[in-house]
Structure 1
Amino acid sequence: MSEKEHITITQIAKESNVSISTVSRVLNGNAPVSPDKRKRVEEIIQKYNFTPNALARGLISKQTKTLGVILPDISNPYFSSMFLEIERYALESGYTLLLCNTLFGGSSHGIRNTKEESYYFQMLIDKQVDGVLIIGGQVDLTTVDNSYKLALKRLAEQLPVVVIGQEIEDVDCIFIQAETGQGVVTALNYLYMLGHRKIAFVGGQPNVTITEIRINAYRNALKALGLPVDEQLISLSDYYSEDGYNAMNTLISRNASFTAFLAINDNVALGAERALYDQALKVPDDIAVISCDLFLTGEYHIPRLTSINQHHDLLGRLVITTLINSIKGIGKPPKFSFTPELVIRESCGSHLGIRTNLL
């Protein structure tokens, strides 16, 4: 066999006259091997310049040190920023990631030929990943399709699975739900303190859990402040800048009176601001805005966006740690509490003082 030809662990074991498990112990360095056997194995490895891949290392350990991550849209800053944190900690822990960008709801990008999420479930099983992390997609819907539920249940029967989302009954995954709506309450209370009494809500998709949680928090916060809930001031669409633009135009077309609005995230806030500008309205001079979900670009908007930091970096570290611990059989998922943080910038005009003329 020439040096350019591939050699397998089985061939190394045969040529060095040892067992496959002995070759594996030499490669992994996780168990003692007699000096004579180690020398014979190392000579064969050197002879063929053998470099084991992850699958070869996993023949004995039954692990590939690879994790699957399933998310619906890597172009969305929410998912991309969280994925970067997940990848950072996974690499620190000795794991590589296999990303499945499902484009769930891909029609919003003009993409039609997307695969069912169950396709990616089976693909990750076939790839022999050690565990799977699911962030968004159909699991985010308030009502989950039964076929999805069955596919997720089958996946969880074969692999450790951690899901960011609300628990699905009779599915043996670890579910982590971080969204409580507290950030919306904090943002609305801040606008109230600045003197605003007619506050709209823009963006988010109906029948999606995070939207429903934040809309309910918005309604309850208004009631707690003694303000009426005007459904005409709620304009839903989706989570991107184009959706913010369209949602704001819908709100304006209703002739509803408002002096401030909450945007479901920074993307939506940017589109909504453009719609206001097209109507000769300025932020914050005419309308104040707070984003309920801070992305990295908000600091560079004009004006700089006041936003709620939901600490997605901490959530990313939590979920990947939980998955790795589950693979290792370590304990129960940790209890956690991330308090949303109001990041005050320019889009509320607070640097001009509290606005008391909006009563």
Structure 2
Amino acid sequence: MSQTVQGVIARSKGAPVEIVDIVIPDPGPHDVVVRVQACGVCHTDSHYRDGGINDEFPFLLGHEAAGIVETVGDQVTHVEPGEFVILNWRAVCGECRACKRGRPWYCFDSSNASKKMTLTDGTELSPALGIGAFADRTLVHERQCTKVDPEVDPAVAGLLGCGVMAGLGAAINTGNVARGDTVAVLGCGGVGDAAIAGARLAGARTIIAVDRDPRKLEWAKDFGATHTIDASTEDVEEKVKEYTDSFGADVVIDAVGRPETWKQAFYSRDLAGTVVLVGVPTPDMTIEMPLIDLFSHGGALKSSWYGDCLPERDFPTLIDLYRQGRLPLERFVTERIPLDQVEQSFAAMHRGDVLRSVVVR
């Protein structure tokens, strides 16, 4: 039987979000109803609200979530009612060309629920990243649920569902940071600090945090930064080289996603070093550079999609590292808020006051 719950929607471009009644249908054969316990407020949700993703309004916002499986479809085998899961937006299909070539972290046909959640008048909702978790419950495909240790705080666990995983994976999976490497991270919000934590976990010897906000540079030290650069007053390329024996960093991660920061990343790396773009640019951004520079610097220029993660592999492993005290996931949770404060949390996020606001139920 369908059920009516409360959820946060973006009804039109740029309009304040609203709390409304939404209808969760009975799950299809491979669908799952999850009772949401916590959901982080991510920049991507703000992009949806502002029309920066697409115009398929109204959106049911929220995607960085953890909760309890309540109801499952009649062909579900992946999870059972009562299990604690982190929701993910890369439900690997196993059949697309990426999966068949042994690169499932690039899966091009990720699964979503077979039915649509709606408003009470029948208007179909577009769930953010196929999840829609600023709600009491949400409907997802079974493969969007990754089981992890149920003893973990949902507010902490849920952050692996997007931003924290993106940053950790940018360092570990995409950047392949190795023991003894030098690493620079441009942008020290949630994703950037997660990249710093990932570089530390991988054994980098020098980790340079770059930002324009002194508060964020202080936060970055808590996650493992060994040096900081205030980009508002210091020359980023010059200082990175100063901290890396004049060579530049082995891996530079752009967690901002702007042309100027990407160029800084490019020119701050060592010869044959790696640049990883994990900050998401807007469609209007362009970049122009001398082609000879791309050739002469060598190395690798990579984009990191969701930290090139495999949720079934990475989420449980990272939760174990957190439980061992080796990964400080709890430091990303700046505040816990009720569902009716999502709009205010967007403002706090844009001011740089928080790493993550987390809606708890």
TM-score when scaled to structure 2?
0.32
Instruction: Give 1 or 2: higher helix fraction.
Output: 1
Q: Which structure would you say has the larger Rg?
A: 1
Q: Pick 1 or 2: higher relative contact order, CA cutoff 8 A, min separation 6.
A: 2
More strand by share: 2
TM-score norm. by structure 1 comes to 0.32
